[in-house]
Homo-oligomer: A and B are copies of this chain.
């Protein structure tokens, strides 16, 4: 499962990027999890559905109807901004497209949890500080939707490799 984060009020360019990210995530056979609302989240879900994918929206409030129309499974948490931690905890990798403060909190929480994070037209973090806190290998900036999804998938494949090619040691 790949988490896609981004603001409710993106630029047109961010909408296009998010839709393409969603499409590529779905084509790769991965489910897409996000915050379930509008803007980047809706565009990513729309992209995923256009490629036959599955989408999960972790909502801040209690109303499942607050999900955008491309969310297959709305999870109305009722826990407000704290739901950002669940969005990123649910992803094996996190792609941030654009981003305001909610997105920045998701990038930070994901790095805190040791997850790979790919920033696409998003916040650029001070690389010295990123390295000081041990996430130099986990934080990436991507130049395109293809690049972003490619990096995310590389982590997930790496993660799966031991199970796919057992060493014989058990």
Contact = CB atoms under 8 A, between A and B. Distances in A.
A62 B109 contact: no
Interface stretch (A15-23, A38-46, A118-126, A140-148): A118-126
A80 B73 contact: no
A22 to B, nearest CB: 16
A78 B85 contact: yes
A80 B80 contact: yes
- Interface on chain A toward B: helix, strand, loop, or mixed SS? mixed
22 contacts: A1-B64, A33-B75, A54-B73, A75-B75, A75-B86, A75-B90, A78-B80, A78-B85, A79-B85, A82-B85, A82-B86, A84-B85, A84-B105, A84-B109, A100-B133, A101-B111, A101-B112, A104-B104, A104-B105, A104-B108, A104-B125, A123-B125
Interface of A: 1, 7, 31, 33, 54, 56, 58, 62, 64, 73-86, 89-90, 99-102, 104-105, 107-109, 111-113, 123-126, 129, 132-133, 135
CB-CB nearest 6 A-B residue pairs: A105-B108, A78-B80, A104-B108, A101-B112, A100-B133, A82-B82
